[in-house]
A = this chain, B = another copy of it.
Amino acid sequence: MKLNDRGLLIVISGPSGVGKGTVRSALFQMEGHDLVYSVSMTTRKPRANEVDGREYYFVTREEFESYINEGKMLEFAEFVNNYYGTPLDQVTEMLEAGKEVVLEIEVQGATQVREKMKDAVLIFIAPPSMEDLYRRLSSRGTEPPEIIQARIDKAKREIDLAYMYDYIVVNDTVENAADRIMAIIRAEHAKVERTIHKYKELLEVNNESK
C-alpha cells in the first residue's frame, strides 16, 4: 500500500562524463516502475535523427526567453549560446497524475530545482574517483586534452555543491547505481512527511465507519 499518491520529482545530476544518461537508461529498463522522463526544451537545432518532443522540444530563442520571463521554466542553463531547460507545466501535470518524473540535468539546473521545488529528490551521481572520471572523459575520444582538463576542473567545483543534494550515488557500476536510485525512490515514498497526512486520514475514515 502506497501512502503517497503524488509522484516524486527525481533529479539525476552530477558532473559531465559521470554517466548520468547511462544510469538513467538502466533505471528505466528496471521492472515495476512508474517513471516518466521529462523531455527538455532547447534552442539548438535538431540533429538529423532527432525528433521534436522526443529528444528535445526544439524552440526559437524568442520562445525560450518568453518562457523564462513568464517564470515557466523549472530550470534552465545556457551552453555554447544555446538554452536548455525544463518547462514547469509538464512536470507539474505528470506529478499530479502520480508519475515519478525523472530529470537528467546539469548541476547548475539542479540548484534551481532545489529552490523551486522543495520536495524534489536530488541525486548526485558521483564518479568512484577523479581518475575514473578522467578515463571516462578521455575514452570518448572526441575532445582535446585541454577540454577534458576543463571538464575535470569543473567537476571538482561541482562536487562542492553536492551538499545541496539529498543523496550521493556513486556510479561504480551502472546496475548498482540504478538499484540504489530505485531504493531511494521507494524509501522517499515512505518518508513520514509525505505519508503522515494520508495515513491519519485513512485511519480517521476507518474510525468513523466503526
Contacts and interface: CB of A to CB of B under 8 A. Distances in A.
A155 to B, nearest CB: 9
A192 B206 contact: no
A126 interface: yes
Nearest to A189: B180
Interface string A174-194: 001001101110111011100
A52 interface: no
Contacts of A188: 187
Given A162-B199, A206-B129, A1 B183 contact: no
Nearest to A129: B206
A79 interface: no
Given A162-B192, A169-B190, A187-B188, A203 B129 contact: yes
Copies in the complex: 2
A52 B200 CA distance: 40
Contact residues of A: prevailing secondary structure: helix
A108 interface: no
Interface string A112-127: 0000000000011010
A187 B167 contact: yes
A53 B170 CA distance: 39
8 contacts: A1-B128, A129-B203, A166-B191, A167-B195, A168-B196, A180-B190, A183-B187, A186-B187
Q: Which 7 A-B pairs have the closest CB atoms?
A: A187-B187, A183-B186, A183-B183, A1-B172, A167-B190, A184-B187, A168-B195
